[in-house]
Structure formats: structure tokens, C-alpha cells
Structure 1
């Protein structure tokens, strides 16, 4: 409301009637932006019972998911189901789900300040690189829900990575890992399917089949350390979001065990 009033006054003083109209329009967009920034923070913070830092994590995560899901112009049923499944896996209660859904809807809006939101998130967590990567992985989970990432979605993921000071190479490796994760989780039957599953396991760890035992173990330990729930909680990740890290460590562990078993058989 104050944005429209102040905009109208300044516009009228500077440019008479045309300035009044322009000032009201500019003030209207300011009011919308301010209400979204302030109103949603107060709402989600009170509902999740967290400090403003963790509320920022929750709101930014779901709003960015909504924006990436809408990147192609249409939010598919798969994206909606993935977001709902994600909320369910986090163990959110009815009111928390309502707030998460509101953040998701905010992100779908055409005028949603996507880069502004990600930059604000980065400023709060910039000294905690593991948290920044977890945030990027959360966005990958929605982008990869249909097994492929559309060009428009990839461009947004690049924006997220750029805002978080994560390299394009790291993004591409994570993307390959997430796409491989779904293949790895399938139950292989034929020898060909088993070979594909093994290759996917290497990709989950960010490795190639030719990697040495020492390099394989180093990659495994690095990933496990990055996704350790206790470490992430100490760095400000909301408790509800730790389930993402727990599932990721389970996949990393399973991929590593499969590779070790196959290598033991080949000796």
C-alpha cells in the first residue's frame, strides 16, 4: 500500500498526471514484491517454528522448485507429484505443507524474482559450500523428475549454480549423477541391464569405471562427508531437509557397495 502512495506522490510532483499514473504502477509492483518478501517470511517462519535462516532455506527451496517446474510454461503432473512426494518425505504436517505449497506457487509466478531470491540465499549461506550444493541438488531432484531436463530448466539450473558460485562442471557432474541414480535404483535382470546399472553406480559417485581403488574410495568419502546429516544440521539446514541428505547417502553407499562387489568378482 505504501509503495503505491509514495510512488503516486513522487510521480505527481515530478511529472504531474502521467507521473502519478506511473508512480502508482511502480508502487504497485513494489508492494507486491515487499509483501511476498515480508509476508511469506513471517508466515513460513511461524509455521515451521524456525529462525529466519532456516525459514529462508525452506522458502527458497520450494519457491525455486516451483520456478524450475514452470520453466517450460506448464507444470506437469509429474512435477506436482514430485513436489508433493518431497513434502511427504520431509514429514511436513498439514500447515507446513500449506506453506510449502504457497512457496511453490510463488515460484511459478511470471514475475517471481528468481535470481534475487537465490542471491539472498547465497548471501546467508555463502560460507557453507556443502549447504549450497545440497540446495542445488534439491533443484535437480525436481528438474530430473521425468528422466530428462529441458533446455529451459537447464538454463535456470545454470543460474542457480552461478548465483551459488558453483561451477558449470560441478553442475553437469551432479546432473549426470542424479540422472544415473534413477537407473541405478532399478532392479537389473539381464546381463546388459546389470552392466548399465554398474555404469550408473560409477556415475552416482562421479567416477568412470577405469578409476583406481584409491580414487574410488576418495570420491566415496568426499560425497559421504558432504551429505552427512549432522554436519549439515550444524551448518543451518532445517531438520526436515536432512532427509534429502540421508537418502542421498544411502544411494552413495549402495552404489559404492555394488562397485566393490563387482570388482571383487573380477579379481
Structure 2
């Protein structure tokens, strides 16, 4: 069971396509599962697992009908987590449970928040997973947005933080999908979490904040396994590439 922590966390991060997510996910699995595997910790991990898929089902059903894209994405997550047998059946049952009209979203989120014990990065990962299911068909309707807003609120994120997460993910997704050598200007702004309307000082501050958050040495000091350091450096390189595009466009020093 020890390797499961790294597989679970790392593949969750890989699912939503962000190097930072994969780094944090693997680190999280390593810390929460591999190092703290005790008889009393199992229920907490199971609740996180179950709630993740149940809320995915709830978000997918928000627009009135679960689409083939929703189902394909949920199945892809299960495949990436290498779920089979009882574990896959549990995930599928949780997804179906979440689709029910009377699914107690607020109650489940309150339970989840207690389990996460103020681990904001973990809460962010959970929210981004739900953003992915909402975006599986390429857009977010009003009902899906309302549920995402409720999830964000319950987990302690502001509407502005949610919108920023949406924008940043869309920028990274477009960058990856384009297959280009570097990000476009629009994607670069999104990758940095800023807009073209922000002034130079705001953009520089955002760049420095992103680099500080993803600095390999800082992540290592927080418990990042040595084998994940390459991914940390890759994320830093993505941020640096975005900065170079914006810096060149705006003639920044």
C-alpha cells in the first residue's frame, strides 16, 4: 500500500494537467498516505476519495444531464488512478451518488473541510478537479458555475480566487493543446495569473510570487521527494517562459 500514496496523489495532479498539481499530489500522497498510514487515518483518506468522485458526479449533473464527455472524463480519472475491482466500483458508486438531486453537497463539503484540516493546497486540488469536470464539454453554464462557487465558498476560496483558477487552467490547457514551442501572449498572462490590463508592478509581483511558490528548494524543504525535483524545475521553467513572453512584449527589465 505504500506506493499507492504516490500513485494516487501524483495521478490526481496529472489528471488536471498541471506540473504543480502532480508535484503536490505525489508529495501529498507520500506524506498523508505513505507516512501516516495508521488504522485511524484510513477513514479520512476514504472520505476524501469518496467525496472527490461524488462531487464530480454532482457537478456533471448540474446542467441537467450527464454528458458523454463527463462520463469519459470520470472514466479517464479512474484509468489514470489505475482503479480496478472494488476501488473502481466504489468510485463509480460515488459518482452515481453525487448525481442524485438530493445529494447533500454542503454537508459533505463541511465534512471534507474537517478532514483536510486547513490544508489549503489540498482544498485547491479538490476544487480544480471539480473545475475540470465542469469544463469537460468546453464551457461552464450558470448552474455549473453556481455549484463551483458553492464548493469554493465552503472550502474557503473567494469568487475572485475561483475565477483566477478557471482562467489559469484555461491558459495552461490551451498552451498544452496548441503544441507550440512557447505560450502565446494571452496564455502567458493566464499562466502568471494576471491580465493585460494589470500594470507592470502587478505583473512583476505575480511572477515573483509564482516562482517563490514553485521554487524547487522551497518544495524540497517542505518534503518533496528527490525524484520529483525534475518536475518542480519544469514548472519553474513554464513560469519563466510565460514571464519572458510578457516581459518582451511590455519591454520590462
CA 1:138–1:72: 2 relative to 1, 3 Å? same
Deviation at 1:151, TM superposition (A): 0.6
Name 1:98's counterpart in structure 2: 89
- Kindly indicate whether the alpha-carbon contact (under 8 Å) linking 1:144 and 1:179 is maintained by their aligned counterparts in 2: no
Q: Paired residue for 1:174, among 165, 174, 194?
A: 165
CA 1:159–1:215: 2 relative to 1, 3 Å? closer
Deviation at 1:230, TM superposition (A): 9.9
Distance 2:72 2:102 in 1: 24
Q: Paired residue for 1:202, among 171, 175, 189?
A: 189
Matched, 1:134 2:125: yes
CA 1:184–1:224: 2 relative to 1, 3 Å? farther
Deviation at 1:185, TM superposition (A): 1.0
Name 1:262's counterpart in structure 2: 245
Distance 1:230 1:110 in 2: 45
DSSP 3-state at the match of 1:148: coil
Deviation at 1:74, TM superposition (A): 0.4
| Larger displacement relative to structure 2 (140-149 or 257-266) | 257-266
Q: Return the TM-score normalized by structure 2.
A: 0.67
Q: Compare CA radii of gyration and give the structure with the larger one.
A: 1
Name 1:30's counterpart in structure 2: none
Distance 2:166 2:151 in 1: 13
Distance 2:77 2:194 in 1: 27
CA 1:232–1:101: 2 relative to 1, 3 Å? farther
- Kindly indicate whether the alpha-carbon contact (under 8 Å) linking 1:53 and 1:124 is maintained by their aligned counterparts in 2: yes
Deviation at 1:233, TM superposition (A): 9.3
Distance 1:233 1:114 in 2: 33
| Larger displacement relative to structure 2 (252-261 or 122-131) | 252-261
- Kindly indicate whether the alpha-carbon contact (under 8 Å) linking 1:61 and 1:135 is maintained by their aligned counterparts in 2: yes
- Kindly indicate whether the alpha-carbon contact (under 8 Å) linking 1:207 and 1:216 is maintained by their aligned counterparts in 2: no
CA 1:251–1:258: 2 relative to 1, 3 Å? same
CA 1:224–1:57: 2 relative to 1, 3 Å? farther
CA 1:233–1:105: 2 relative to 1, 3 Å? farther
Higher relative contact order (CA 8 A, sep 6+): 2
Deviation at 1:176, TM superposition (A): 1.1
Name 1:60's counterpart in structure 2: 51
Matched, 1:162 2:149: no
Deviation at 1:161, TM superposition (A): 1.0
- Between the two proteins, the alignment pairs up a number of residues equal to 201
Name 1:111's counterpart in structure 2: 102
Q: List gaps (5 residues or longer) in structure 1.
A: 1-49, 235-245
- Kindly indicate whether the alpha-carbon contact (under 8 Å) linking 2:194 and 2:203 is maintained by their aligned counterparts in 1: no
Q: List gaps (5 residues or longer) in structure 2.
A: 1-40
Q: Could you list the per-position Cα deviations for residues 80-105 of structure 1 after superposition, in whole angstroms to 9, with x for gaps in the alignment?
A: 11111111112223331111111000
Q: Return the TM-score normalized by structure 1.
A: 0.64
Aligned pairs for 1:1-267 within 5 A: 51-187=42-178, 197-208=184-195, 210=200, 211-213=202-204, 215-222=206-213, 252-253=235-236, 255-262=238-245
